[in-house]
C-alpha cells in the first residue's frame, strides 16, 4: 500500500493530481500539502506545509509513513522573472529538502519514491528548437529555467550517488480548466478560452507564430502516474524525461477556437513573456519516454479545444 504526499497540492497540477491519486490509492492514503491555510480542492486530507521547513517536512513523512512524494511547489516562469531570488530559493531549496529527506529515509531502510517536474523552460536559445532531443544543449535564459536545469542535475546526482528513486518529466505548457494557471509563459492558452467564452477579444502577450509544446491536463496527469508506476529498470533517465503532447501557436489556437465560436477575435501585444517563449523549443521528441515506459499522448488540438470550450467557467479569471 502506498502512502502519498503531494506538496504544492493547491496549484494547477496539484489539485487535479490529488483527485487522480485519491481515486487510485484511496482518500485515506493521500495527503495534500500546500503553504496555503486551507485546501483549494481535492479529495484528500489537507496539511499546511512550507516545503522550505525541512524539519517539519521530515516529521510529516515519518508520522504519515509516506512512501511517495510528488513535489510540485515552485515559482513559475513569468512570476519567477518578477522575483528571481525568491524563485531560486523556493525552487532549489524546496527540491533539496525533499531529496535530503529521501536520502536519509533510504539510508534508514525506508526508501521514498519522488516525483519532481522539470519543464521545457530548462532548454534555451541554443537548443535545437524542432523535435528537441532528450539530450541536447541546455542554456536556459530565465531564472525558472535555470532552476529547472539545476534541479535535473540534482535529481540525477541523488539517484547516482545515493540511490534516491527520483523520477521527473519536462512538462510542456499544461492546459486545464479546473484551477487557474500559476504564472507561466504558456498561460495564454488558458486565458484565451475565458475571453472567447465571455465574447471578448483576447489580447495575447505572445506573437502570433510562437509555436510552443503544450499538453492537455488529463494526458499530463496520466504521464505522471505512468512514470511513477513504472518498474525501476524501465526508468533509465533520472534527470528528466522529454514529454510531448501537441505543439501549436497562438494563431493556430485562435483559428481552432474561431472555428467553434465564429466572430472570436485576437490581438497581439507581446510583452516580456515573448522573450521567454522565444528561447523555448517548438516541439519535443519524447521517443525515449515512449520506448522506456510506454508513453503515448492521446489528446490532440481539436479535442482539447472542444473540451475546454465545454468546461471553462467563463466568469472565472484565468
Ligand atoms: N503548469 C504548467 O504549465 C507547468 C509546466 C511545466 C512545469 N510545471 C511545474 O509543475 C509544478 C507545479 O506547477 P503548477 O502549475 O501546479 O504551479 P502552481 O503555481 O499552480 O502551484 C504551485 C503551488 O505551490 C504552492 N507553494 C508555493 N510555495 C510553497 C511552499 N513554500 N511550500 C509549499 N507549497 C508552496 C503554491 O501555494 C501553489 O499552490 C511546478 O514545479 C512547475 O514548475 C508546470
Indicate the top mutation candidate among 15, 40, 76 to test ligand 1's pocket, ranked by most ligand atoms within 8 A of CB.
76
3-state secondary structure of 284: strand
**pLDDT for the residue 182:** 81
pLDDT above 70 (res 179):
yes
Instruction: Give the pLDDT band of residue 43 (cuts 50, 70, 90).
Output: confident
Task: State if residue 117 touches ligand 1 by the CB under 6 angstroms criterion.
Answer: yes
For residue 265, how far is its CA from the centre of ligand 1 (angstroms)? 31
Residue 39 has pLDDT above 90, yes or no: no
Q: 223 in a domain, yes or no?
A: no
Nearest to 151, CA basis, from 126, 179, 170, 136: 170
Specify if 224 maps to a domain: no
Looking at residue 317, its pLDDT comes to 62
Does one domain contain both 104 and 205?
no
Residues 179 and 164 in one domain: no
pLDDT at 44: 81
Phi-psi sector, 242: left (phi>0), alpha (psi -120 to 50), beta: beta
pLDDT (mean) for 109-120: 98
CATH number where 194 lies: 3.90.25.10
Tell me if 233 is assigned to some domain. no
Cell 541554443 sits on residue: 126
Instruction: Identify whether residues 74 and 90 lie together within a single domain.
Output: yes
Identify whether 272 is part of a domain.
yes
Checking if the pLDDT of 42 tops 90, the result is: no
36/75 same-domain check: yes
- Whether the per-residue pLDDT at 196 is higher than 90: the answer is yes
Residue 229 within a domain = no
Per-residue pLDDT of 57-102, as tens digits, reads 999 999 999 999 999 999 999 999 999 999 999 999 999 999 999 9
Count of domains for the chain: 2
Mean pLDDT along residues 10-18 = 95
Examine the domain organization and report whether 208 and 164 are in the same domain. no
Q: Is 38 in the same domain as 118?
A: yes
Helix axes 94-107, 54-63, angle to 10 degrees: 40
What is the DSSP secondary-structure string of 85-126? Answer: HHHHIIIIIHHHHHHHHHHHHHHTT---EEE--EEGGG--TT
What tens digit of pLDDT does each residue of 132-169 get? 999 999 999 999 999 999 999 999 999 999 999 999 99
Q: Is residue 283 part of a domain?
A: yes
Query: Mutate which of 5, 20, 73, 93 to test ligand 1's pocket (most atoms within 8 Å of Cβ)?
Result: 73
Provide the grid cell at 94: 524546496
CATH number at residue 30: 3.40.50.720
Residues 154 and 189 in one domain: no
Residue 72 in contact with ligand 1 by CB distance below 6 A = yes
Range of the domain at 69: 4-171+238-242
For residue 144, indicate whether it is catalytic.
yes
Please give the number of the atom of ligand 1 that sits closest to the Cα of 91: 41
Tell me the CA distances in angstroms from 87 to 77, 112, 220, one per residue in order: 9, 25, 23
Same domain for 145 and 186?
A: no
Q: Helix 301-311 vs helix 250-260: angle between axes, to the nearest 10 degrees?
A: 60
Task: Render pLDDT for 235-258 as a digit per residue (tens, 0 to 9).
Answer: 999 999 999 999 999 999 999 999
Could you give the angle at which helices 188-197 and 250-260 cross, rounded to 10 degrees? 30
Ligand 1 close to Cβ of residue 219 (< 6 A) = no
Active-site entry in 46, 70, 144, 202:
144
Examine the domain organization and report whether 8 and 71 are in the same domain.
yes
**Residue 186 CA to ligand 1 centre (angstroms):** 14
State residue 315's pLDDT score.
Answer: 64
User: With bands split at pLDDT 50, 70 and 90, how would you rate the model's confidence at 291?
Assistant: very high
Supply the mean pLDDT for the chain.
Answer: 96
pLDDT of the residue at 314 = 67
Within-domain flag for 219: no
SS3 69: strand
Task: Please indicate, yes or no, whether residues 33 and 82 belong to a single structural domain of this protein.
Answer: yes
- Kindly state whether residues 254 and 301 are assigned to the same domain: yes
**Between β-strands 30-34 and 68-71, what pairing exists: parallel, antiparallel or unpaired?**
unpaired
Average pLDDT score over residue span 214-220: 98
* 155 and 261 both lie in a single domain: no
Ligand 1 atom at minimal distance to the Cα of residue 50: 32
Burial per residue of 191-211, b for 16 or more beta-carbon CB atoms within 10 angstroms, e otherwise: bbbbbbbeeeebebbbeeebb
Amino acid at each position: 500500500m502506498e502512502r502519498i504526499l503531494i506538496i504544492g497540492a493547491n496549484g494547477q497540477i496539484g489539485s487535479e493530481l490529488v483527485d487522480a491519486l485519491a481515486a487510485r490509492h484511496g482518500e485515506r492514503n493521500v495527503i495534500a500539502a500546500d503553504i496555503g491555510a486551507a485546501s483549494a480542492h481535492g479529495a484528500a486530507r489537507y496539511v499546511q506545509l512550507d516545503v522550505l521547513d525541512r524539519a517539519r517536512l521530515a516529521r510529516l513523512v515519518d508520522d504519515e509513513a509516506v512512501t511517495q512524494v510528488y513535489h510540485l511547489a515552485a515559482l513559475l516562469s513569468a512570476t519567477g522573472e518578477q522575483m528571481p531570488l525568491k524563485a531560486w530559493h523556493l525552487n532549489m531549496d524546496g527540491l533539496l529538502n525533499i531529496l535530503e529527506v529521501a536520502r536519509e529515509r533510504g539510508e534508514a531502510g525506508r526508501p521514498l519514491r519522488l516525483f519532481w517536474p522539470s519543464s521545457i523552460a530548462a532548454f534555451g536559445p541554443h537548443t535545437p528548437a524542432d523535435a528537441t532531443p532528450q539530450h541536447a544543449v541546455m542554456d536556459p535564459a530565465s531564472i525558472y529555467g535555470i532552476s529547472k536545469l539545476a534541479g535535473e542535475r540534482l535529481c540525477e546526482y541523488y539517484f547516482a550517488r545515493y540511490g534516491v528513486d527520483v523520477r521527473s518529466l519536462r512538462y510542456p505548457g499544461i492546459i486545464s480548466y479546473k484551477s487557474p494557471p500559476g504564472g507561466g509563459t504558456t498561460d495564454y492558452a488558458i486565458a484565451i478560452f475565458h475571453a472567447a467564452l465571455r465574447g471578448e477579444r483576447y489580447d495575447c502577450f505572445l506573437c502570433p507564430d510562437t509555436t510552443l509544446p503544450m499538453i492537455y491536463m488529463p494526458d499530463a496527469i496520466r504521464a505522471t502516474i505512468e512514470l511513477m508506476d513504472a518498474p525501476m529498470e524501465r526508468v533509465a533517465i533520472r534527470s528528466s524525461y522529454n514529454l510531448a503532447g501537441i505543439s501549436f501557436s497562438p494563431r493556430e489556437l485562435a483559428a481552432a477556437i474561431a472555428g467553434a465560436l465564429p466572430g472570436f477575435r485576437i490581438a497581439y501585444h507581446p510583452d516580456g513573456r515573448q522573450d521567454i517563449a522565444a528561447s523555448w523549443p517548438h516541439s519535443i521528441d519524447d521517443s525515449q519516454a515512449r520506448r522506456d515506459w510506454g508513453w503515448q499522448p492521446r489528446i490532440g488540438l481539436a479535442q482539447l479545444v472542444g473540451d475546454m470550450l465545454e468546461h471553462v467557467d467563463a466568469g472565472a479569471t484565468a
